[in-house]
A and B are shown apart, each in its own frame.
Chain A
Amino acid sequence: MLLRHTNDTIIEREALTINPAKTCQPVGAMYAALGIHGCLPHSHGSQGCCSYHRSALTRHYKEPVMAATSSFTEGTSVFGGQANLLQAVETIFTVYNPDIIAVHTTCLSETIGDDVNQILQKARDDNYVPEGKFLIHCNTPSYVGSHVTGYANMVTAMVKYFSGKSVTKKNQVNIIAGWCEPSDMREIKNITSIMGIKTILFPDTSDVLDAPLTGHHEFYPKGGVTVPDLVSTGDSRYTIGLGPFCSEDAAVLLENKCKVPFDILNLPIGLEATDKFVMALSKAARVHVPDEITEQRGRLVDMIADMHQYFYGKRVAIFGDPDTVIPLTEFLLSLDMKPVYIVSGTPGNKFGTAMSALLSEKVPEAKFKNGERADMFLLHQWIKQEPVDLIIGNSYGKYIARDENIPLIRVGFPILDRVGHSHFPITGYVGGMNLVVKMLNAILDKEDRECREEKVELTM
């Protein structure tokens, strides 16, 4: 029992976090920046931060992840990081030659008060930046929000630095991707392409963090949203933000800056969220929903109908990031499952509001919490009080899954011990089918393994 110390008696904790369901801002900023083509993320802080974030992303994607660091020393923390950042900009453009350097801060550079905006301006003024190259930045103090906040901040920086308004509107729709996998971003593009809509998806980590093995290491893989595309987001007809936590700030800024109207939806995870996404696309681009999309939807509904008896009443614990967890909860409800415990380390009132709206009538006994001390320890204590049939979350769920003998399906970040998340989406109707299959396999495999011998069924 790896978590043998966990019991079911919940004592109010004032200060302590045990086994967090989140991490800190910079890794989110780093991930988002990788969704720009030819971009090298840069961590303005100690070397350890950069190393940890690269390792986390590398373990999750099983892909090389490149990022540079300001390599703070004791001296830097006293005298400020300007010299390091200027040297870094010079070094990076000389040696690694990216199109863009996307700087994010750390708790250290924030606390000592480095003004990154001013330092980068100095770098531009003093000709550290070659012609046609860019420096962008966002502030990601690790002691505010979570990794989700960092992602949102870098996405907002993309709008702040690039989005521009020219004289002519373009017949295109912006889609701001909330934190999801390269596979999900690819699926979102599939949907818009089937619908015949020109879209600009940003950030876009497909073809960056799911690159093929070719025998060469591409320092800057072919994917990622390009700078001209980012610039033209200001001329788009409409913006659809997927996932309020990750995309709302950027969408609002884009409206303020370039008068592009927007809609904030959930990430299209599950039937209803995908319906809403497809309808929003259809409205924004003024196109009809093609048969192919309707058929995809029909196949998902067909699959659910075939197996709905196995979903009924199943109790589920979910943990992860709000933009994922909210539509996932909605999907489980539409499958007639019971999401009873939901935890997210990311703070923000939107989480509680969305959960109440989804659960108060359908699963009044559900418990949910986000922000400080909404951690894996609490989730485990709830499960100890009354067990569940399924856990959905990242790899850190495996300890609870093993100790309590509950199947776990891996959704979210980080997934350190399985593959597939970068390649098989959970978004769109296709993603919905993937989720249904994963959940069913987990539940039915356990049933087959553990049910009484006479109850083993060949046909299910």
Chain B
Amino acid sequence: MDNFLTGREKQIVRSGDTSQKIQCAKPSLAGSVSQRACVFCGSRVVLYPISDALHVIHGPIGCAAYTWDIRGALSSGPELHRNSFSTDLHEKEVVFGGETKLYESLSELIDRYKPKAAFVYSTCLVGVIGDDMEAVCRRVSKEKQLTIIPVQSPGYSGTKKDGYKVACEALATLVGTSDREIPKISINILGDFNIAGELWLLQEYYRKMGIYINATITGDGRVDDIRNAHKAGLNVVQCSGSMMYLAKIMKEKYGQPFMKVSYFGVEDMSDALYGVAKFFKEKELMENASLLIKEEFARIMPVIRMYKEKLQGKKAAIYVGGSFKAISLIKALRLIGVQTVVVGSQTGTPEDYALIQELCDEGTIIVDDSNPIELSQFVKEKKADIFIGGVKERPIAYKLGLGFCDHNHERKEGLAGYEGMLNFAKEIYATAMSPVWQFTR
């Protein structure tokens, strides 16, 4: 099995080889053991953290079962989002349509839980049986006097990334439906999902600087805050893959500016804080940011240096959902002495890949929409010590005798910000240096 998937050669390049440009945003080849998911998955993970809304999955039971509380998106209040609500479609509905069942489910749910709003997700099955989900949502909305937003996310209608877009469109219908006055120096945090409580770290930084945080979309998100999101002075967007589209819509509709940031690694985190301070053109903000960053550096750098000494010379392979995240990871790894030798993502963009090619040492393998065979071979060829990826990559890494760090939704410690950098260094150190690997040789 040493031949790669024919037709995939162009989705693999090596850094330093300028003759080649990576191909991406291509549908996966049928028959590949792809690590990718579907449109529904994309929409569901983006909207899921809005914790005072109902999330109803209109489809067969699987789509609801597999997305039931799989993402550690923490809430400081309601926990409604951690339940799994499904219309559990059966043969009868496939033949006669599922609109009645959806109508009844929604009505029952709203009576029971009195949510702030409801998101109703369509799935493959609903897409092909042709239920008029929007009509049902409109009807229940009228009867119950509640905002009900249909999320058109049949799995087959694109990739996970298209699902993000659908989610952004759904969010856009909420934004602008409230008019609460808020301070001028205010931001919305877009694209952080509060995995392992990361958002709370970020909020703390911004508050210390003197910035009012309006809506967090969608980590620890609340319907009423999102309704009022257009009032913030700036949209600060992390994770370009999922939330950029919403930021663009808001810019067009409300003239609200946005800024693209990453919170991962001390460099990017500091750039983000300075960037936001600079945007508001307030001297005090800049001073506060500078002070905060200085303090945090003084606190964490000695520890980071200790890890760097010990990790020097270790090599890492990265395979994550979006390519933007990979860029931050490469930099953060470099800070702790770890060289990146393989970089890949499920749904990367040409711009990000170009930047990665520039950023990495010569010979680094860069790959789009990879699969286990390729990844195993790359890792072996490049003699990586650590793998950074998601749920499906973890056991493969272990089988190969590599350390592993989950940088997806199964992370257990926040990895954003300065505190997150410490957690990241500790996690990489613990896994790279674990005594277990000596027993595998």
Contacts and interface: CB of A to CB of B under 8 A. Distances in A.
Given A17-B88, A48-B38, A64-B372, A71 B30 contact: yes
Interface stretch (B180-188, B216-224, B390-398): B390-398
A358 interface: no
A16 B128 contact: no
A55 to B, nearest CB: 5
Contact of A46 (B124, B391, B441): B124
A130 B374 CA distance: 23
B34 to A, nearest CB: 6
Interface in B43-68: 59-68
Contacts of A232: none
A183 interface: no
Contact of B41 (A52, A77, A107): A52
Interface stretch (A90-98, A153-161, A318-326): A90-98
Interface string A40-61: 1010011111111111101101
A73 B401 contact: no
Given A108-B155, A111-B125, A142 B400 contact: no
Interface in A165-194: none
Interface stretch (B78-86, B254-262, B312-320): B78-86
Nearest to A77: B156
Contacts of B79: 1-4
Contacts of A19: 68, 83-84
A201 interface: no
Interface stretch (B2-10, B137-145, B359-367, B424-432): B2-10
B33 interface: yes
A96 B108 CA distance: 48
A428 B430 CA distance: 39
A219 B33 CA distance: 11
B29 A87 contact: yes
Interface stretch (B90-98, B205-213, B281-289): B90-98
Contact of B399 (A27, A56, A214): A214
Given A15-B104, A47-B155, A144-B91, A20 B86 contact: yes
A143 B93 contact: yes
Interface residues of A, number: 88
B32 A91 contact: yes
Given A18-B84, A76-B156, A396 B68 contact: yes
Contacts of A265: none
A389 B223 CA distance: 39
B109 to A, nearest CB: 6
Nearest to B93: A143
A64 B101 contact: no
B1 to A, nearest CB: 5
A333 B156 CA distance: 48
Given A49-B155, A77-B127, A77-B128, A142 B372 contact: no
Contact of B60 (A50, A73, A77, A143): A143
Contacts of B159: 47
A16 B109 contact: yes
B61 A146 contact: yes
B105 interface: yes
A17 B86 contact: yes
A127 to B, nearest CB: 16
Interface in A17-32: 17-20, 22-27
Among A20, A22, A59, max chain B CB count under 10 A is at: A20
A56 B67 CA distance: 10
A68 B28 CA distance: 11
A58 to B, nearest CB: 6
B342 to A, nearest CB: 15
Contacts of A54: 392
A367 interface: no
A387 B34 CA distance: 45
Given A96-B1, A97-B1, A16 B85 contact: yes
Contacts of B376: 217
Interface in A65-123: 65-74, 76-77, 83-85, 87-92, 94-97, 106-108, 111-112
A108 B395 contact: no
Interface of A: 1-5, 11, 13-20, 22-27, 40, 42, 45-56, 58-59, 61-74, 76-77, 83-85, 87-92, 94-97, 106-108, 111-112, 141-144, 146, 211, 213-219, 345, 372-373, 396, 399
Given A15-B102, A73-B157, A77-B128, 16 more contacts: A16-B108, A18-B83, A19-B84, A48-B40, A48-B155, A69-B34, A71-B27, A89-B31, A91-B31, A95-B5, A107-B94, A108-B128, A108-B155, A111-B128, A144-B91, A218-B399
